[in-house]
Structure 1
Amino acid sequence: MVLLTAVFHAPIRNVRFTGRDAALLGLREKLLSGDTPVVLQGMGGIGKTQIAMEYAHRFRTDYDLVWWIDADPAVFVDTALADLAHELGVPAADGIAGRARAVLAALSRGVAPRWLIVFDNAENIDVVSRFLPGPGGHVIVTSRDPGWADLARAVPVDGFERAESVAHLRERVPAMSEADAARLAEALGELPIAVAAAGAWLADTGQTAGDYLGQVGQFHLARVEAVWELSLARLRERSAAAYRLLELCSMMTSHIALDLIYSDAMAGQLDPPESVPALVQQINRLALLKIDDGQIFLHRLLQQVVRERMSPQEQETARHQVHRVLAAARPAGEVDDPATWPAFGHIWPHLEVTGAAECRDEPVRQLIIDRLRYVWLSGGFDDGRRMGEEFAARWERHRQARPGDGPLERQLLHLRFTLANILSDQAAFAEARALDEAVLARQRELLGEHHPHTLMTANGLGRDLRALGLYDEALKRDQGTYAAWSATFGDDHPRTMSALNNLAVSERLAGRAREAAGHERAVYERCSLVLGPRHALTLIAGNNLGRDLREAGEYEASIALLTDVLGRHRETGTPRTYSTMANLAVSERSAGHVIEAAAHLDAAYAHLAELLGPGSPETLACRLSRAVGLLEPGELAEVEAAYRRSLGDTHPYTITCRNNRAAAARADGDLSTARRLAEQAAQEFAVRLGEGHPSTLAARTNVAILEAETGAVGDARAVIEPVVAALDALLGPEHPDAIRAAADLALMGGADGDAEIRLTAALGGTHPAVRAFREGRYLHRTLDPHPF
């Protein structure tokens, strides 16, 4: 793909940038001489960021793509990379981490012929190095850490040359003589950040270089931090409110969204409240911040200096005021809705640096829970588990130190509920169940049966039971949970609709396809009306309804719906995009579109394996469906082994693999192995799910086919006749699965002269099953797992 327009995302150009020709030339030469990243190396305040910015602007026409990443805090590097996905036209992936990896893969493929990625302030080498693009473009890193020398070629950055210092000072203060500028530059050690601070102070105050030098002596200029003392004193004299705003900003990360700065909550922290935009301009006049692209930027050294001028108690008070600003900025609604993510994105970077997890305010702790849910919803299961366990342990210590703090315990329990969700997505189903059961028991004591947190955990426990293959137990629990949501909060509440979706999942797994389809259609239609067509729950329900349409034999309707849902997933970047693609592929295969199905399954499996890992439930389910389409015995055996390890030998998913292995063995002509596997699967399904379950009936059909193909036609008819009757009663005689079984019975000598007509009417004359029947071949049943 060729980009039609250049993508340029970097801080605005510093119009006062001075000199640095040698550093720029060295940087350019190293970038052109190889694919290895280049690191601008030097002490804080030496001008590394400014050189990288100037390079990006000066040479922007040499690149099709320039993308700037603030690498401090490092935890958001993946988010900055993920934001590039839309610009590159990279298909939406599951979660932030998945989109970041997709971007790196696209850059390696040459999606942009000439690209430059800048990682600014990359002090956490372990994290940032995981996101360095491979060969094919240019990478600039700025850092104080000499450890980058092992990963990148270094360009050392020193102070200004004397002529550069003089030029910068005289640009800010044209009346200054060259001699005074040189004297001042020498006193400042040619340190760029010190020269810039002095120039801004002189320009604002109108004083002379001699006045400045006369005053800075008392501030111990040997310390780099001292260069701001005069500017800070000037700001404090001019406006106590502006200085207080700077103190609050110094508690946050170095880049802060203007939506936070200009909020009523921020103004409310000033005494008396003043116009924040006017205060920002006062700070800006002294070059203590920069405004760019909807954010303000403060140098980290400046933030450190401001904090050091405050007592520990003053710092604690300022941090708490920032917590209140962050809590007030929380968007309405739940973090589960991707529409809230941009607003939450302004909040996330400041939680860790301000110590928000230690705050006693309930709205602030809610942000920690929101953050954990966001990481989970974004597919960051490993990071989410680490964060969840850390926060839970911390809050548990606080709970023990403050017995009787009901709000804290309530939020701790809800945090653990989210942690259980993550454990489930990591296939740690037994751990998730144990945690949900413990949380639910305590929530019932503390909050009561119908508190929303109690009911959410009950929903989670239903998921755990489904994952463990305990479908009947899950169904009973989900029936009660949905009834409680509906009675307490009404049918239009999003959590009520989610509970009805969960009930439909349990019904589907339990073999009650008609009830599942009715409930899922109700969820989908209500979600579309109340929440909108692109809400996460609407898309989940649409994906499930597409599955129900397929199970009802309405293959083309299923394909149409799932194609639409997949398109909406791609538009919004909502998680589960590739699971929806895999679901669509199964419907395409059911309708006889085997080429389209194979392509979709290949793509879905490759992405899921990369994004969620090979052992995730969604990846394994897709891998199984792909192996079914290929009928690869070795691949099917490997998937069965994976399910056996994670779920046990008699879990329905494991049994499903054995049923499908029977089909592969039959296709290879190994009828003895096929018959053994089919009989084993049928018996195990009957024990686990019951004789009348659709999976059991499918496996019985396969047993009958293999009986017939090994010469026991009479025994085969005895097996399949009750299957035909059961499918007619369960699904209806015109359902494709019922007709397939009747067609198999006809091939065994049963009296169904209309089998070909019925099969053609249900599937179309070109369907592989119709062609097989016309050729006198039996219609073996393979199974795809339903997600839990």
Structure 2
Amino acid sequence: MASFYDIAIDNGMPEGTAWSSGLRWLAKNKEDWMLLYDNADDPGISLGNFLPSCNHGNIIITTRNSHLQQLALQSCELRDMAEDDGIRLLLKHAIKGRELTAEQKLEAASIAQKLQYFALALVHAGAYISQLNCLDSYLNIYEKHHSKLMSENLLQSSDNYSIAVYATWDLSWSQLNEECRALLGICSCLHYERIPREIFQRAMEALGKYKIPDDQIIKLKSYDLLRVLTAETFKWDDFRMNHIIRSITSYSLLTIDKNNTYSLHPLIFQWIRDRKDIIKNDTLIEQVQSFVALAISDADIAFLQSLVPHCINFPVTGDAQSDSNLGYLWHQCGYYIHSLVFWEPLLEKTRKKLGSSNVATLNCMHDVIRSLVALGKFEKALQVADPLVKMSEELLGKLDLGTLEAMQNLAFIYSQLGNISKALEIEMPLLDTKQKLFGKQHPATFEATHNLAARYCDLAKYIEAKELAEPLVNLSRKVLGEKHPDTLSRLHLLGRIYWEMGNYNDALELAEPLLETSREIFGEQHPKTLSQMGQLRIIYSKLGQYGKAIELSESLIYLSKQTLGDNHPVTLMRQNILTNTHSSSYSPGYCIDLYGSSYHFQLRKPVVIE
């Protein structure tokens, strides 16, 4: 307003005239004038009210408020500087009138990289280095004291922008409301890139979907976050979420990426984590883990995989709801050691708190069994699975689905220990029981049929196995879908049956597209994808395509070591097979049915154990 008043006075208008007179003068004056609105960051100001209403003249706006783009005919978003420009900016402020050694140039490049080529941070670092002549030691200071360093005001700097880096964001923080701060707090406990909006939606929707009563919601570690983000309604609200995101992005503290994900600049991410009023004694981290655990409930594999980088540093907290679902995340994504790390102590805690004869304890036993099986620890799994069947029969009844699944697990473990006859004693009547209880098109029946076909295959009864597997594949495609993980398991088994019978071309016709689908659904390193690679390797070898077989084997062993470990039975088996590329032998333990659904996978629902 003061600037427009000055324009009015400078152009002959009387003292005391309104500031808007200067605005109107520009609108009428068709000369090639320019207005510069510098640092127009405050989203509370309607900048459109201060723009001349005309089609002539030139206006430049610099701002961190991306919403002002709608005022302009064209805009340019300036992200972090290019590497060379960033280094030059740092040195411009850090070194004045001195030549640099090669080592100092490398050190400057390392500093610029550490600061993500963020202009404000580079200028601040340059001024600090100039005042203390500490180019060689700056990174060490930053690593130990980055919070204090970024909060340091450099009053004698020649550059007006050498105020504390954190002070810039602190100013924005002071303008944010409680829900905006809560959302940024959640983001600060995740990875700073590609945070799915779906996390927030699924977590809030889980409360209503599973009809969690109020007295249980209040016991969730994430209660305070849920209360703030939902304004105590505990319901997902798209409009409210959009308002929160719009408020945060107006201060450039968050960016909206493609596919409904959000990202924080790494320095902003660190600034939030350094604020002592946000993270106190790991309380927020536990709250966020509980929040994410709600989002995990009954989630598909694609969403779970998107969570992996955000959960990698989550510790075991002892909270049942959090540890149970995080174990499920790691198991479904193929990180079986991680799942056991969460599930094993949870079983002990639940057993101690609720006793052995409790449904929650039985569910924890199911979880531990599936981790042990996936890790090839069958003897240890048997020690849990055998008593689980007896406990389930006593607590739930012989015909309860949980009991039947416990029996299915036990039979599978026997088969992997080489006791096929014992497995069949359980599996043959089990299929009849499931068909009578649930019908032929129920997933539980599919599972029993799949396992019995696998046992026939182990016994070289390939015709019987094929008679079960082929119609099972068709039913699974129809009921569950072409790309459902269980359908892929059935295709994997059918491919094995085909090549065991010598139908290598039929097996190849299934195996090659199945590998591509596995990569698409699970990713390159998932154990199920590796199992399919192993099967395709065998088929290539049988068809005499040894070059393809060797190439696949070498890739398979490398990935197997990365995901399962050097001493996992599957990794060792794959190494042995590579030593004899022409080998046609097959061991039932070769894949440990990592691709199959041979052990129980229950839906994960929110759980609170007092």
Give the TM-score, by structure 2 length.
0.60
- Give the Cα separation in 2 of the matches to 1:531 and 1:291: 37
2:179 touches 2:244 (CA, 8 Å); kept in 1? no
Instruction: Give the secondary structure class of the aligned counterpart of 2:366.
Output: helix
Shift of residue 300, structure 1, vs aligned partner: 5.5
Report the CA distance shift for 1:591/1:261 in structure 2 as closer, same or farther (over 3 A): closer
Instruction: Give the secondary structure class of the aligned counterpart of 1:52.
Output: coil
1:504 touches 1:519 (CA, 8 Å); kept in 2? yes
Which of 503, 528, 533 aligns to 1:576? It is 528
Deviation string, structure 1 residues 274-324 (Cα, Å, up to 9, x no partner): 82332444455567x4334322647566467575799x9xx98x9998688
Match of 2:197 in 1: 258
Of Structure 1 and Structure 2, the greater helix share is in 1
Match of 1:496 in 2: 445
Q: For 1:278, give the aligned amino acid.
A: H
Match of 1:656 in 2: none
Match of 2:337 in 1: 382
2:508 touches 2:539 (CA, 8 Å); kept in 1? yes
1:349-748 to 2 correspondences below 5 Å: 357-358=318-319, 365=321, 368-399=323-354, 409-572=358-521, 573=523, 575-629=527-581
Shift of residue 509, structure 1, vs aligned partner: 1.4
Instruction: Give the secondary structure class of the aligned counterpart of 2:469.
Output: helix
RMSD: 4.8
Match of 1:246 in 2: 181
Deviation string, structure 1 residues 190-237 (Cα, Å, up to 9, x no partner): 532024424x4xxxxxxxxxxxxxxxxxxxxxxxxxxx6xx2xx65xx
- Give the Cα separation in 1 of the matches to 2:561 and 2:489: 20
Shift of residue 349, structure 1, vs aligned partner: 6.9
Q: For 1:21, give the aligned amino acid.
A: L
2:446 touches 2:476 (CA, 8 Å); kept in 1? yes
Instruction: Give the secondary structure class of the aligned counterpart of 1:295.
Output: strand
2:511 touches 2:532 (CA, 8 Å); kept in 1? yes
2:469 touches 2:494 (CA, 8 Å); kept in 1? yes
Shift of residue 32, structure 1, vs aligned partner: 8.1
* Aligned: 1:13 with 2:79: yes
Shift of residue 161, structure 1, vs aligned partner: 4.3
Match of 1:167 in 2: 160
Shift of residue 413, structure 1, vs aligned partner: 2.6
Which of 118, 141, 144 aligns to 1:54? It is 118
Q: For 1:460, give the aligned amino acid.
A: N
- Give the Cα separation in 2 of the matches to 1:327 and 1:31: 47
Point out where structure 2 has 5 or more consecutive residues left out of the alignment: 1-76, 123-138, 206-225, 593-610
Which of 194, 208, 231 aligns to 2:167? It is 194
1:257 touches 1:296 (CA, 8 Å); kept in 2? no
Q: For 1:13, give the aligned amino acid.
A: R
- Give the Cα separation in 2 of the matches to 1:164 and 1:292: 34
Which of 286, 295, 304 aligns to 1:341? It is 304
Deviation string, structure 1 residues 567-613 (Cα, Å, up to 9, x no partner): 32233325332332332232333344444444433443343344323
1:579 touches 1:622 (CA, 8 Å); kept in 2? no
Report the CA distance shift for 1:397/1:600 in structure 2 as closer, same or farther (over 3 A): same
Report the CA distance shift for 1:454/1:147 in structure 2 as closer, same or farther (over 3 A): farther
Match of 2:254 in 1: 290
Instruction: Give the secondary structure class of the aligned counterpart of 1:167.
Output: coil
- Give the Cα separation in 1 of the matches to 2:352 and 2:421: 38
Report the CA distance shift for 1:244/1:465 in structure 2 as closer, same or farther (over 3 A): same
Report the CA distance shift for 1:166/1:282 in structure 2 as closer, same or farther (over 3 A): farther
- Give the Cα separation in 2 of the matches to 1:391 and 1:38: 47
- Give the Cα separation in 2 of the matches to 1:165 and 1:257: 42
- Give the Cα separation in 2 of the matches to 1:617 and 1:358: 32
Shift of residue 430, structure 1, vs aligned partner: 0.7
- Give the Cα separation in 2 of the matches to 1:610 and 1:343: 19
- Give the Cα separation in 2 of the matches to 1:159 and 1:622: 57
Report the CA distance shift for 1:609/1:472 in structure 2 as closer, same or farther (over 3 A): same
Deviation string, structure 1 residues 320-373 (Cα, Å, up to 9, x no partner): 986885466446x5x5x52442565598479759x5x525xxxxx2x6434323
2:293 touches 2:325 (CA, 8 Å); kept in 1? no
Shift of residue 143, structure 1, vs aligned partner: 10
Point out where structure 1 has 5 or more consecutive residues left out of the alignment: 1-10, 41-46, 59-140, 149-155, 169-184, 201-227, 236-241, 360-364, 632-781
1:492 touches 1:526 (CA, 8 Å); kept in 2? yes
- Give the Cα separation in 1 of the matches to 2:500 and 2:93: 64
Q: For 2:90, give the aligned amino acid.
A: D
Shift of residue 434, structure 1, vs aligned partner: 0.7
- Give the Cα separation in 2 of the matches to 1:382 and 1:28: 48
Match of 1:269 in 2: 230
Shift of residue 523, structure 1, vs aligned partner: 2.5
- Give the Cα separation in 2 of the matches to 1:477 and 1:582: 29
- Give the Cα separation in 2 of the matches to 1:454 and 1:291: 49
* Aligned: 1:785 with 2:581: no
Aligned length: 449
2:453 touches 2:469 (CA, 8 Å); kept in 1? yes
Shift of residue 52, structure 1, vs aligned partner: 1.1
Q: For 1:494, give the aligned amino acid.
A: P
Q: Equivalent pairs: percent with the same residue? A: 17
Shift of residue 548, structure 1, vs aligned partner: 0.8
- Give the Cα separation in 2 of the matches to 1:471 and 1:413: 25
- Give the Cα separation in 2 of the matches to 1:158 and 1:146: 14
- Give the Cα separation in 1 of the matches to 2:104 and 2:528: 38
Deviation string, structure 1 residues 363-396 (Cα, Å, up to 9, x no partner): xx2x643432332343323333322223333334
Report the CA distance shift for 1:322/1:500 in structure 2 as closer, same or farther (over 3 A): same
- Give the Cα separation in 2 of the matches to 1:56 and 1:626: 55
Q: For 1:436, give the aligned amino acid.
A: A
Report the CA distance shift for 1:426/1:330 in structure 2 as closer, same or farther (over 3 A): closer
- Give the Cα separation in 2 of the matches to 1:389 and 1:504: 31
Greater relative contact order (Cα < 8 A, sep 6+): 2
Match of 2:608 in 1: none
Q: For 2:165, give the aligned amino acid.
A: P
Report the CA distance shift for 1:48/1:544 in structure 2 as closer, same or farther (over 3 A): same
2:151 touches 2:165 (CA, 8 Å); kept in 1? no
Instruction: Give the secondary structure class of the aligned counterpart of 1:460.
Output: helix
Shift of residue 473, structure 1, vs aligned partner: 0.5
